[in-house]
Structure 1
Amino acid sequence: MLSTVFLNSDAFDFLFMAFGLGCLYEYKRIVGIKGYYIFIAYLALWWAYIYLIHDELPVLILLAITLIIDIALLFFLFSKKKKPFSTIHLYLIGIFYISGGFIFLTMIPYNDNEFAKLLIAGIFVLIWVSDTFAYAVGRTIGKTKLFPSVSPKKTIEGSLGGLIFALIAAYLLSMIESKINIAQWIGLAVIIVVMGAFGDLLQSKFKRMAGVKDSGAILPGHGGIWDRLDSLIFAAPFAYFTLKLFFYVS
């Protein structure tokens, strides 16, 4: 991931387009929807928004729909309904939760006709630091379960540890990437860590409903692509929206 960021923007775009296809395949298999229309819709949206559409209004419309779907999914996360979605709902979730997540993740580094390599790399670092230290702190001192009905191993102590170390990472990143200031890096870190945690829990709930441990087996020891990128794709639209606010206000 980092090598494509620092290689060139086309490599970055292609990698995340391919990751999106992989996640959609795993999502489609887990929720049990059929056909290949969802892949066509994803590729059409991705190509249009990455290469063709440059007006602000269509981007804001897609962002609004994606955020609405993601917020609705948070209600699903805390719901106890066993079958809350129809087939059309599952298609819409796939298109906007997963496809929208990858589209806005890919769009994050593009600002004023410049590819902000350090900014997107910093966002990856925040997610990785949060995940790593949430695991380490949770394994070491974690006792209070965070959401045992969905993810029994996650703890409140681990989540707080991940957030604290992500804030430290944000402070260090502010010394390297000056496109946003230290307060904005801290705010971005909070958004990414919190929404990333929800994304992780949300994907766990989809797997629990399907009765599977992993979304796939393409990455030995880690599961599927969706397993690895669940935090990023859920947090990406919120991070994009936050950055837009930062740039607009500044």
Structure 2
Amino acid sequence: MNELFTRIVSGVIYAAAIILALWSGKLATNILFIIFGLICLFELQNLLNFKNYVSYFVFPIALIFFNYFNVNDEITFLFIIACLFVKLLLLRDLFSLKGRNAFRQKKHLITLMYIVPSMVFLTLIPKLYPDYNTYILLYVFILMWINDSFAFLIGKHFGKQKLFAKISPKKTVEGFLAGFTFTIIGGILISYFNQTLSFYNWVVVGILVSVFGNLGDLVQSKFKRKALVKDSGKIMPGHGGVFDRMDSIIFSSTFVFGFLFVINHVS
């Protein structure tokens, strides 16, 4: 009970910080995500047993560059492709039966092109819409929280079939399906409160958040399994590190932003 209470309090503080920053506007949002991103970079490098100080400078520079300058769409698109390449590389190694290990062999690439663009893309989602619409990003986070909450609750109390036992023994098929279902329902409900995206687009965002969020959680689990640790850090009691709390949104951010980027340029 004490552990659950600690987890809830820590989670509420984390969520409140995000909501307050998004409500305050662009500057506060960017400052918060720079702080979160730097912590995640530190925790990732600890998991990889690798130090790359360049990434600590590249990340805030990239975030400021893409947020405060008129960046060519072709450059943004190439940035998306580069980040997707790294994430697909991690997924290949997650499901590979041939013993491939990008987690060990490509530390430079992962350190620079996993956290950095993923956090930048989160801050760019509001920029796709007039007046830096932070409500869009808030709803994306709400969908992720819905997915995580129902996957945890249903999986813990009713889960029997393991989803990926070798990587994350606690994840279950029942938990995944519950999170997926309620996230889509959440997308449907959000479409009635926010018409910036259409009904169908909110459903697609919900699907992307759930599917790739769960894959991001599995990738994070493999990072920790390779490092022989339970958590990426200790800064968030009950959750571990900031990277532990943001693993799902970090992995799914590229896919969500990529989808919104494309429909904004097609419509």
The superposition leaves residues 156-214 of structure 1 with CA deviations (integer Å, 9 ceiling, x where unpaired) of 01000001111111111001111111111001110111001010100110000000000
1:198 is matched with 215
1:2 is matched with 19
| Structure 1 counterpart of 2:251, from 234, 237, 241 | 234
Confirm or deny that 1:98 pairs with 2:115.
yes
**Which amino acid is the alignment partner of residue 100 of structure 1?**
P
1:62 is matched with 79
Shift of 1:86: 5.4
Shift of 1:82: 7.0
Identical columns (%): 35
Q: Aligned partners of 1:69, 1:184: CA distance in 2, in Å?
A: 25
Q: Aligned partners of 2:143, 2:63: CA distance in 1, in Å?
A: 25
Confirm or deny that 1:186 pairs with 2:203.
yes
2:264 is matched with 247
Alpha carbons 2:126, 2:133 under 8 Å: kept? yes
Q: Aligned partners of 2:187, 2:104: CA distance in 1, in Å?
A: 40
Shift of 1:43: 2.5
2:9 is matched with none
Shift of 1:137: 1.0
Q: Aligned partners of 2:253, 2:102: CA distance in 1, in Å?
A: 25
1:109 is matched with 126
TM-score (normalizing by structure 1): 0.95
Shift of 1:72: 1.1
Gaps of 5+ in 2: 1-17
Alpha carbons 1:38, 1:91 under 8 Å: kept? no
Confirm or deny that 1:128 pairs with 2:159.
no
TM-score (normalizing by structure 2): 0.89
Shift of 1:84: 3.8
1:42 is matched with 59
Q: Aligned partners of 1:112, 1:232: CA distance in 2, in Å?
A: 20
Q: How many residues align?
A: 249
Shift of 1:37: 1.8
Q: Tell me whether 209-218 or 34-43 shows the greater mean CA deviation.
A: 34-43
CA 201–86 in structure 1, closer or farther in 2 if over 3 Å, else same = closer
**Which amino acid is the alignment partner of residue 47 of structure 1?**
I
Q: Aligned partners of 1:104, 1:91: CA distance in 2, in Å?
A: 20
Aligned residue for 1:146, secondary structure, equals strand
Aligned residue for 1:215, secondary structure, equals coil
Alpha carbons 1:77, 1:202 under 8 Å: kept? yes
- Runs of 4+ more than 3 Å apart: 82-87
**Which amino acid is the alignment partner of residue 6 of structure 1?**
W
Q: Aligned partners of 2:93, 2:54: CA distance in 1, in Å?
A: 24
CA 113–183 in structure 1, closer or farther in 2 if over 3 Å, else same = closer
Q: Aligned partners of 2:52, 2:102: CA distance in 1, in Å?
A: 21
**Which amino acid is the alignment partner of residue 159 of structure 1?**
F
Aligned residue for 1:110, secondary structure, equals helix
2:154 is matched with 137
Shift of 1:246: 2.2
Alpha carbons 2:118, 2:250 under 8 Å: kept? yes
| Structure 1 counterpart of 2:225, from 208, 211, 215 | 208
Alpha carbons 2:187, 2:206 under 8 Å: kept? yes
The superposition leaves residues 19-42 of structure 1 with CA deviations (integer Å, 9 ceiling, x where unpaired) of 000000001111011241221222
